[in-house]
Amino acid sequence: MDFSVTVQIEMRDQGLQKKSKKPSFSSNSLLSCTHVSYPSGLSWVQKTLTYFRFPQLLSNKRLVHGVFTRVGGLSSPPYDSLNTAYMVGDTPDNVTVNLDKIKKTIGSEHLMFMNQAHGNAILVFGQDHNGLPYEVPSGDAMITNIPGIALMVKQADCQGVIIFDPERCVLANVHCGWRGNVNNILGGVVTRMKKDFGCRASDLIVAIGPSLGPCCAEFVSHKDIFPRDFMTFMVRENYFNLWAVSCWQLLKAGVLEENIELSRICTRCRTDLFYSYRAEGTTGRFGTVAMIR
Q: Kindly list the residues in this chain that would bind Zn ion in the complex (CB under 5 A).
A: 14, 213, 215-216, 266, 268-269
Taking the least distance from each CB to Zn ion, the nearer of 14 and 98 is 14
- Around Cβ 151, how many Cβ atoms within 10 Å? 28
Residue placing its CB nearer to Zn ion in the complex, 192 or 270: 270
Closer by beta carbon to Zn ion, 203 or else 218: 218
**What's the CA gap between 102 and 98, in Å, rounded?**
6
Compute the least distance from the CB of residue 52 to Zn ion, in Å: 18
Q: Is the distance from CB of 181 to CB of 140 less than 8 angstroms?
A: no
Q: What is the CA radius of gyration of the chain?
A: 18
Rounded to the nearest whole angstrom, what is the least distance from the CB of residue 213 to Zn ion in the complex?
4
DSSP 78: T
Minimum distance, C-beta of residue 96 to Zn ion, in the bound complex (Å): 31
3-state class of 177 per DSSP?
A: coil
d(CA 249, CA 282): 31
What's the residue count for the chain? 293
CB of 274 to Zn ion, least distance (A): 11
d(C-alpha 3, C-alpha 137), whole Å = 36
Q: Which is nearer to Zn ion, 139 or 213 (CB)?
A: 213
Q: In the bound complex, what is the minimum distance in angstroms from residue 178's beta carbon to Zn ion?
A: 15
Cα 161 from Cα 207, distance rounded (Å): 6
Hey, what's the torsion of the CAs at 237, 19, 290, 47, to 10 degrees?
-170
DSSP letter, residue 52: E
Q: Least CB distance from residue 235 to Zn ion, whole Å?
A: 11
Neighbouring CB atoms inside 10 A of 136's CB total 12
Are 292 and 169 in contact by the 8 Å Cβ rule? The answer is yes
Nearer to Zn ion, 52 or 274 (CB): 274
- Which C-beta is closer to Zn ion: that of 187 or that of 213? 213
